Amino acid sequence: MLAIIPAAGLGSRLAPFTDTMPKALVPVDGEPLIWHTLRQLGHAGVSEAVVVTGHHRRVLEDSVRRCPERPAVRFENNADYAETNSIVSLWLTRHRWTDGFCLVDGDVVVDAALVGRLLEAGGDRLAIDVSKPYGAIDMKAAVTDGKVTGMSKSLPVGETAGEFFGVSYWSAEGATRLAEAIGRRLDAGGHRDWYEEAIVDLSATYDVRTVPADEREWAEVDSRPDLAVAERLVRRLAGRRESTDAGT
At 13, the pLDDT band (50, 70, 90 cuts) reads confident
- pTM (predicted TM-score): 0.95
Confidence of residue 243 (pLDDT cuts 50, 70, 90): low
Q: What is the mean pLDDT of the chain?
A: 95
Rounded CA separation 242/57 (Å): 33
Separation of alpha carbons 216 and 194, rounded Å? 25
pLDDT average, residue stretch 14-32: 92
Q: Please count the residues of the chain.
A: 248
User: Which numeric CATH code is attached to 2-224?
Assistant: 3.90.550.10
Residue 12 has a pLDDT of: 83
Q: Would the CA dihedral through 204, 207, 208, 213 be positive or negative?
A: positive
